[in-house]
Structure 1
Amino acid sequence: MMHPALTFPRPTKEDALKQPAKWNSDWESTTKKFQHVPPSKFFEAEATLLKMRVAADMDTAFIRHQSLLGNLCGLQLMITEEALTYFARNDLEAKWMQASSAVRGKHALIGLSNACSIAKDLHDVRLYCGRELTLSHLQEDGKIVLDLVQAVMALNDAGICEMPETPKDIADAAWDSFAQVQRGSTASESEKLAVANILALRTKLICHVVHFTVRSFLGLELPEVKLEAQKYHKDQFPEATMEQFVGRAAAKAAAKEDKAAWKETHGKRPEHCSYTGCFKINTGAGKFSRCKRCWDDMKREVLYCSGACQTADWKPNHKAICGKPLSFETASTRKYTPSENFAPVIGPPIGSYKRSPSLVYQTNLLSRNPKADYVISDSLKEPVFMDFPDPETQSLFRKCREKAMTTGDRENVAIMGHFLCWMTLQTRQVQPPASDGATVNVIVAQLKKEYRFDDLHLAINEMQQRQNMDPFKRPVLLSSMSPPNWVRFCSGMNGYQQVVLT
């Protein structure tokens, strides 16, 4: 007998956008009925469905899983790049936390309904998300959505945004524990694939939900989701195999439903490049090239937008599987060679220190612009890249910057903040000059957000007092500079400017 999770009446994907409030209410009533069902039971249901669908062509199932993982990696990279900008330049964290529960709920519902309307598999996997994707949970505490955004960010150990080799899963104690046991057992390939599909689809749905929620909240257009092309095979949903599990009538109905869903979500999908570092969509301007051996030997369509992508994908990925049957292991493993290598100019956080999203944005800007000493972007149309031409000054500043960014040490943050403000007043030494918008108030506001340092203005005033007490009136950052070098450094400056903040 089939598990009830396979046969219960679910809200339909079509209602997600037509009647989002009712659709969500129906979903939450449905998930409440299954809130105490352990992952093993859901897995049992999913594995049953998977066995029906892949009996005729396991290789196609592995290709679809591989494509799912690759697209999820690309989605997380896109979310990361956008979210860092939203945190740093749109003040997302403060605005979302200050919003009322009703406002957060309004945009969370938009996120839920639009994400679940993308495809039937994403819609149905909401059942496996439990409380995590209930509207009340998403709106009751502002930190929940913000934490989910940060949980899926594609950042390496140094905090640099780059395409991940494997997606970042959303942690769930019950599912993670079950998946760990499943991977270590003697499960079949289809059973391993079933649990991996659940975890990947759960994560992908949550990614889309938070992405749409945030964009809706900021008044931005919701992105159009383009899905990958797949060819339809007449044995895609073998009714004979289904009959073994559910009987003839149910098998016929299930096959009909699956075919309709497949045609809707797969039949009109554009082609995409198979290289993990690209995933470019074919807009119709030209035809993608196909791996001949994979097509001739396996009828597997592996497409590349260019010879460069095909070459880049060969050694790390495609060589091992070209023209050969896939396995769960090969379908789950992808290696990625970044097209652009950004060497981190700032070390990773030390100890328990955790950077704010705004500070992560700063470290990424500096890694992409290594000649810059600091980037002022808060409330500005275009970022202002500050750099200090004097080698000794630059060396002292970067040592202070490293300490501030890797430990959050407040004295170093204050020393650095005071120097940035002081140098902004000495426009001769700043490139470009302060007239471009990098005012003292803008700098202080940005640093407060980056280092979560609300009293920074008081600390900077203290640094100014220490400068006033210096016999040569050197900023604290340059207190070790020799008097002759200090005189040379000050030549041509516009008098002695003090930083006074209120």
Structure 2
Amino acid sequence: MASTVDQAAVQFPPLLSKKFNITDIKQDMLKWDKEWEAAIASSTAADVLKEISRVLDDSFFALDDLESFHLDLRNVQEATAQSLRKIFHEGHFKTIWLLLDASEQRRHILEGLEKASEAPTFWGQDSRALCPEVTVSNLLSEGGKRFVVFLAHFLEVFESSDPALLPNSWWEQASDMPNPWWEQTAHDAERKRSESTKIVFEVASINRNKFIGFFLLFSLASILHDITHRSKGMKDVLAVMENTGAYFAHSLAQAKSSLRDKPLVRCENCTKTPEDIGQGARFMVCSTCKSKLQFEVHYCSQFCQNEDWPIHKKACGKKKVSKGLSGTKGDNLWQFSGQLSPIADMMRDLPGNQDGTVSLANIGVSPCKGQRSPAAERQAKMLEADKDADYFLFTASDVPVRFVIDDLGAKMIFRINRRMFMTQTADSGLEAVAEYILKHMSEYPGLSRDIILKQLCAEYGNNTTEKVVEWERKSRERGIGTGTVIGSLSKDFMKIFGHTISN
């Protein structure tokens, strides 16, 4: 049977966007997206297929139509796959994407959705309702990592199957639904409607995947355009890539993508999360604090609430007081998880202010878990006496030189490392600090590289020079060039942790 439907020429009326009263995208793109996300979340695949089947049934299509639709889909997907192969081959796309600000990531995804809605599919923007995984909130989660995972998944499915239909359990629940689910209308009485929706479902599945292909193609085009033209939102990211080297840019991107999207819920008594307890866990909140203060204190059981009462009753309904448990809303560092967890844990252990920020001036060097050398002990005492100084260097005639860092990000990283090796809480940090000091102070009057290294050896052991030289060699290999590890990370450290730091 010859094909009876020209997909490029046919577009059905916008049933779903009309049903859900979706705002015109040209009027307000953000509202348009928000309304679509709400509509998708409130619908089932059966709901969507039912609306589609109000205007067509299986008898509408010939077998040759399906073959033509699959070929058209393959052409769209091939163009998308070519773009994906190119960006993955070049190797830096994932890092660039993850380093982008969330607002820029959102802009590219919205542009992809807008243009996919205008592309030649049967249902235009209504095709969004077939794709519950293609939402801005989903693809931006985990710092945008979900978008990269989705790209890789698309390419994997395309290269391993034909037809390449992305699996989705939500959508596949409507694969064999009966028809009709509604009363026959006068119009329907003019002909016998098919009782099957299998062909309609297959056509909808093809259009679902075609919409996804267009969405990815247009999103990638938007991103690559900004990279090629060094657009405003892309400049800072490209600067990080070019000035810090691939190793550190990649590490920073991975760290950024491990940020939590929202605070954890923990029991105020036993500290467990719903995930710790398992399926079906339902947490309670203190009703008094919630009603009087609009403040939530969580408990996993009546037992834990009763056990914590002697502590909680002092502030209950009077003050917004919680224990600030790790990862919860009361923790100023709640968003840091994954690769950033050790850093966040370390920062929680730093001296803080009443507002929860880290007190940079009070990151000291005493007490020490072990025994310092006389030279290191002198350094520690001088730093404790002068909170503004980051380090003291000594000329050949033993005249002290105050080293003070103006860059807040570099100062924070420097002091964290200084604290670790000077208090002997970790066998690391010295090399990064030494590299930074040598970079900035080797040419200071009365000082030199040899003088500084000799001092550091006296303070921390004769093998210090060897350690520092090896560190500098590895820095060059990582792409730091003539810079330093502390300097290369300072700007991006402030982007992530800046709100947690107080001078």
- Say whether the fold is shared (TM-score over 0.5): no
Structure 1 length normalisation: TM-score? 0.35
Structure 2 length normalisation: TM-score? 0.35
Structure whose alpha-carbon radius of gyration is higher: 2
Q: Which has the higher contact order (CA 8 A, sep 6+)?
A: 1
